[in-house]
Structure 1
Amino acid sequence: MSILYRSDAPRAAAWARYFAEHAPDLDFRVWPDAGNLDEVEYLIAWQAPAEFIAKLPRLKVFFSSGAGVDHVDFSALPKHVPIVRMVEPGIIDGMVEYVTLSVLALHRDFFDYVEAKARRTWDPLEVPPASSRTIGVMGMGSLGSAVLQRLSSYGFNLRGWNRSLREMDGVESFAGPDQLQSFLEGCDVLICLLPLTPATKGILNRELFSLLPAGAALVNVGRGPHLVDEDLLEALDSGRLSRAILDVTEPEPLPAEHPFWVHPRVFLTPHVASMTQPESAAPILLGNLRRHQRGEPLSNVIDRSRGY
């Protein structure tokens, strides 16, 4: 039985070592040393072109090496091939760290102090209690729920918005398009952790920003296409939004001439908020693969009709 890993090259060796030690009966291959593609039954990948998928006639399962599946061309994969997204502690912990850092930096005015330092200005700002801030998370899946749980320890008022209602202790929950405005009207910091689907593409736009309290901040750790760049720049320049922290852009890498690079109210990172960690991901994926071998249901299979 052959498994092909076609994803993050620097982590490939760690994946290969794990499978060699814990699953020596499996033929684990790393792209581009794939051997005969006719033999590959399981694919672990981030991006796999349609013409490549067509060369895998015996493919049984497609494992995404990341939490999202928007990079997958569903039409290129036969309908009988399940698409499994990655859910593992390393991804969740990384996202929780990044979002917590972002929220606390906004809450405690760290970006204002960076600017003050550049001006050599000693200008203490009022420190409001966390209970005076409302943090809203769009997307209450495994990542969004973990973020909300961690933020609850700081005493923030918390809100969550999801496609369907998802209750959490200590979180005011909203669901669906009809409740989006009510959700947004109270958010001082808005965090986007939505999956990218046709319904969510461009959701971070002028209309949405107009519903937030004046001076609210945005943290986008979903996908670049969630955001309408021109609308964000307009909202920042008008004062409708105070700051934006962006870990994702469209395209990636962001072109050097893009205005986000020089805008004083935009903080950029190169899609590093959360990354799959082989040490925690490989055991979970292997366990899922073994379940499939035994004829048991796979975990974390996406619904193609929803796109996640």
Structure 2
Amino acid sequence: MHNLAILSRDTTLYMTLLEEAQLPFLALILADNKLPESFDYSQVDILFGDPDLTAQVVNRCSNLKWLQSTWAGNAALFALDKNNYQLCGVKGVFQQAMQEYVFAYLLYFSRNLAGFNQAQKHKIWAAPTYQSLAGKTLGIMGVGDIGQAVAKMAKQFSMKTRGYTRTTNNCEYIDQYYTYDDTQAFAAGLDYLVCLLPQSSETTGLIDQKFLSYLPQHCVLINAGRGTTIVDNALIDAIKNQALQAAVLDVFEHEPLPEHHPYWQLDNIYVTQHTAAESLPEDIFPIFSENYRRYINGLTLQHLLDFNKGY
């Protein structure tokens, strides 16, 4: 029998899904959306939950064998010294949501929806300027399954695509690949830039003043990867100096974003409160269920993460 603990803001939904699944040889010994201090965590050999919650107890789980995260980002767990267990992420469930998010803003800017709205308010019949996405160049930083889905959608709009990646180079929807050594060539001439990079030592602070200086003035930056990738002061300066058309930010180094942060005040920065592609229990639980069946049968788990790489 395996002892499972669930720690998630969606614990109630996960309990319902678990009951319906009737997984064999599994005892649920804890299910909560907070951290009970009096609980004996040494009983737990399988942990399922939100990384910011599980990170607070994982060191007390002395017999932990496998942790299934409910989120794509697991920086809180990678920040700990404990790594003598299998950590699995979630993949294959965020593509459509990210496609919708990215292209909502690409179309917002290309079709100049704000301009049309202002023209309507002032009863101006003369149409404001607008553009098509066709023929425009989209740079995608991070070409995993989500980045590839964004590239695929870009091709539906007849866009040109560039991929910025350390490893992946086989996506049919990417016209040209660039590595971390080709940053200037990658950034030059982009009309839109979407950052989907994970948090790691290599990506932290990657989008700094130097990187931003390579982007054209009309470029729109969208960051739905990790907040630590962007140097905040560099982006704020770029927006204030009109060196960049706009920035759409879904993720931040500190969340919730502090009320005093300059991002709230700048007209050409759009804050979307980490909602680009949320983890929904009905999407996440099947990953846990499949991995559990693999676990009890001695098979390799899906979406295993690398503690050395941080993703």
TM-score > 0.5 by shorter chain = yes
Tell me if structure 2 keeps the 8 A contact 1:190–1:219: yes
Give the match for residue 38 of structure 1. 42
Give the match for residue 248 of structure 2. 245
Rounded to whole Å, the distance in 1 between the matches of 2:236 and 2:118 is: 19
* Distance verdict in 2 for CA 1:255–1:291, change over 3 Å: same
* Distance verdict in 2 for CA 1:305–1:228, change over 3 Å: same
Cα deviation for residue 78 of structure 1 reads: 3.3
RMSD: 2.1
Cα deviation for residue 70 of structure 1 reads: 1.6
Superposition pairs for residues 1-308 of structure 1, below 5 Å? 1-7=2-8, 9=9, 11-25=10-24, 26-28=26-28, 29-31=30-32, 32=34, 36-45=40-49, 46-48=51-53, 52-79=57-84, 81-89=85-93, 91-114=94-117, 124-308=127-311
Cα deviation for residue 145 of structure 1 reads: 0.9
* Distance verdict in 2 for CA 1:66–1:49, change over 3 Å: closer
* Distance verdict in 2 for CA 1:18–1:49, change over 3 Å: closer
Tell me if structure 1 keeps the 8 A contact 2:144–2:168: no
TM-score of the aligned structures, taking structure 1 as reference length: 0.91
The letter of the residue matching 1:39 is Q
* Distance verdict in 2 for CA 1:84–1:265, change over 3 Å: same
* Distance verdict in 2 for CA 1:277–1:239, change over 3 Å: same
Rounded to whole Å, the distance in 2 between the matches of 1:268 and 1:138 is: 19
* Greater relative contact order structure (CA < 8 Å, 6+ sep): 1
Tell me if structure 2 keeps the 8 A contact 1:88–1:281: no
Cα deviation for residue 54 of structure 1 reads: 2.2
Aligned residue for 1:152, secondary structure, equals helix
Aligned residue for 1:132, secondary structure, equals coil
Rounded to whole Å, the distance in 2 between the matches of 1:250 and 1:216 is: 22
5+ residue gaps in structure 2?
A: none
- Larger CA deviation: 212-221 vs 43-52: 43-52
TM-score of the aligned structures, taking structure 2 as reference length: 0.90
* Distance verdict in 2 for CA 1:246–1:55, change over 3 Å: same
5+ residue gaps in structure 1?
A: none
* Distance verdict in 2 for CA 1:302–1:73, change over 3 Å: closer
Aligned residue for 2:290, secondary structure, equals helix
Cα deviation for residue 257 of structure 1 reads: 1.6
Aligned residue for 2:46, secondary structure, equals strand
Rounded to whole Å, the distance in 1 between the matches of 2:197 and 2:284 is: 22
Rounded to whole Å, the distance in 2 between the matches of 1:276 and 1:132 is: 33
Cα deviation for residue 24 of structure 1 reads: 4.9
Kindly provide the CA deviation profile for residues 149-200 of structure 1, in whole angstroms up to 9, marking residues without a partner as x: 1221111111111112412224223232222211111311111000111111
Rounded to whole Å, the distance in 2 between the matches of 1:51 and 1:33 is: 8
The letter of the residue matching 2:62 is P
Rounded to whole Å, the distance in 2 between the matches of 1:279 and 1:130 is: 33
Aligned-residue identity in percent = 27
Cα deviation for residue 204 of structure 1 reads: 1.5
